[in-house]
Amino acid sequence: MSEAITADKFWQFSLQLYPQVKALCLQWQDELGVNVNLLLLLCYLEQQQLSLSAPELQQLAAQLDNFSAQFTKPLRALRKNTVIAAVTPAQQQSLKQALLQAELTLEQLEQQLLLQHCPALSKKATPLLELYLARLNADSNADSDTLAAQILDLRQAYQRLSQHSG
């Protein structure tokens, strides 16, 4: 591997890419159960022309799912459902902001965990996005043509990033 993947490089990549693909990421999160941090890592790996095997990807996803189910998802649900009659709208907004900040901290920790548990990467072209989404799409009724077009849109977004940064 020519350049080591650091948590900071991955986080910066995510901060640049996510605003461009937020709607798609949230749609896939809600409809397919995608973990957005894992999706962003796969985009980053593809951009760097690095790869994992299907079993390695599945193992990485399972490890992240455990953490996310215990911490990130409950906090996200709490933030989304914060309607408390006993507090003022300003207090409610303050609470939502605090929960959002905590959620972002957990998202960053998820990314660090992904890198910590990531197996050795190979320099071969593997369609990581298709591997991951096929695993999730097995239980879904998503249209495969639509999914393929969305994957193309996502790839174009991170390719534009690499053109602007280098």
Mean pLDDT of the chain: 87
Confidence of residue 166 (pLDDT cuts 50, 70, 90): low
- Give yes or no for residue 103 having a pLDDT over 90: yes
Handedness of CA 28, 31, 35, 36 (dihedral sign): positive
CA 118 to chain centre: 14
The reported pTM is 0.86
Provide the pLDDT for residue 2.
38
- Judge contact between 32 and 142, C-beta under 8 A: yes
Q: For 7-18, what is the mean pLDDT?
A: 94
Owner of token pair 């990314």: 111
